Structure 1
Amino acid sequence: MVKSPITCESAEENLLTIHPTAKDFHYMWKRACDTAAKCIVEAKEYNKQRWDKSHMEPDFKEVDQVLVSTLNFNNIKGHKKIRDSFVGPFTIIELIGKNAVEEDKFPSRKKNPTPPEIVEVEDSPGPVSRIIRARKIRLNGKDKRQYLVRFKTQTADKDKELAEDAIPDGKIHLRRFRASRRTEQSHQ
């Protein structure tokens, strides 16, 4: 006869017995916990064996030719399925760690070479054809006038907003522009 661990306030032992089904449940619970722990250990061992069977430590040496995966390259444009999975081969110059190497990337072998630095050539668009319109803008708390300028032998998409002092032969073209605005206003 098993007694419960509960004691009464009078410090006398409680003489209630534990029901047999509760004892069976405790035994069942303990067996289930032991079985689960054993299954977890076996699963870890099984997964480790599978991993070890299919994965080997790379044995890179200097001057070996290797391919580089493009999986994590974010700068390659185009659809993912059409991209090459690997680029190279590249020559290993130095071993840095277990999986890290320094490679020799020849420009002729690069799959995606970095483009040269873009240098903007300030080509003059040519002589001014006419001033199309004026607008007033506020820069650093001061009102400034800018003029939309069209250049000879250029299309409308090449028009530029320029300040008065930046327009080539600005005085002549501004005089014509103001005169044309006066005549337009007088005709209205």
Structure 2
Amino acid sequence: MRRWKIAIQEYRGNMNIFNREVNIHKNADGLSIWPLPNNIYNPAYVPEEASPQISIEGISVTDLNKRFFEKVRNSDTQDRNCRILCQLLTQDFKDNSLIHALDEIWKKPYDEGRFHLLDGIIYHKTKHTCVMKVVDRSLRNLVLKEFHDSPFSGHLSEDRKREKIKTCIWWPMWYKDVVEVCKTCDRSQNANKSIGKRLGNIIKNQEPSKPWEFVHIDWVTGLPLGGDRSYNACPMIVDRFSKTPVILPCHKDDMVTHHCLQGVLLKVFWYWTSLLCPLAGSFGFQGS
């Protein structure tokens, strides 16, 4: 079936094809006219004795002391739900009596197939991560401290802390502990935007009712020399009503340009009532 899927997608363009999962040791290519042998060259190859591979992310086994893993295993033996999970994950069949003995907070992820047992430690699997599970309160507090109070964490916000913790470790209702830590931290509350100083509102400018009633001036500098007088800057005057631009080449920091521009403004646009630019005060107009 997978070989057919590859061939159809190659010759027919983009297609969404779904094939039904089959039992182990059952080759779906047996339905074809020329079935392929069950070897590594078969796209639907099924290993005979293949152990499941679980990608462990977050906590690296090479960077932690063996005592940490021993503490995790010892805490699992003292927790009732963890003992039941270990029994369920080591059995080849589903024991309904053990499943119903789990608490609801553990039963739901087990029914979804999120728990895996590796080297005596239970891991919790999500769509993109498979992380270690801890039930010991001291280990939980250690994780929360490293992700919040540590000098390398920087007192992260609640959302950023959730994103980091969920890729490293898991325990039931862990996100509520994260919220509690953020609420009880003085530094986090002082930096909280919801209780901090509010930002100011934007002041709305008066809308023009006719052309050239309100204008904007923006100075463009740092231009290459051009023209017979080697201009290197130009003010751009834009009418707010008609959006008409007026560009005047000039020299940067030149008093002659200042007086020339002032004369042009008074001569050509003498009926302006307001001028919006950083240098409006030099022309005797209202500015903002």
TM score, norm. by length of structure 1: 0.28
- Quick check: which one's helix share is greater? 2
Larger of the two Rg values belongs to structure? 1
- Quick check: which one's strand share is greater? 1
TM score, norm. by length of structure 2: 0.21
